[in-house]
Amino acid sequence: MQGVELTLKQLSGTLTKFGVQAIETAGQEFDPSAHQAVSYGPSSDVPANSVLDEFQKGYRLHDRILRAAMVSVSSGPANPSEHDSTTH
């Protein structure tokens, strides 16, 4: 286990040295240029169009996206009263 952790630390250090950075997703507003939305659902804790969960990390090299982060996006709080009203 310790050997794997040291290898990961060394690899992460090398990538950082050459400018590769992980894309931040937690609590961020959804950005289609850096995030790939794989699901969309209601949340009372997270505002609409913000990232709920990260399924796969994304990476960028300087200003260029190497791999977009796979995330789920909040649609805001569930509001069942919107579907009940039928005004024409």
Domain locations along the chain: 20-76
- Domain 20-76 of CATH type 2.30.22.10: yes
Task: Please give the Cα distance from 25 to 49 (Å, whole number).
Answer: 12
Q: What percent of the chain has pLDDT above 90? A: 55
> Minimal CA–CA distance to 69: which of 21, 18, 14?
21
Q: What is the pLDDT of residues 2-41, one digit of tens each?
A: 999 999 999 989 999 999 999 988 888 999 899 999 999 8
pTM exceeds 0.75 for this model: no
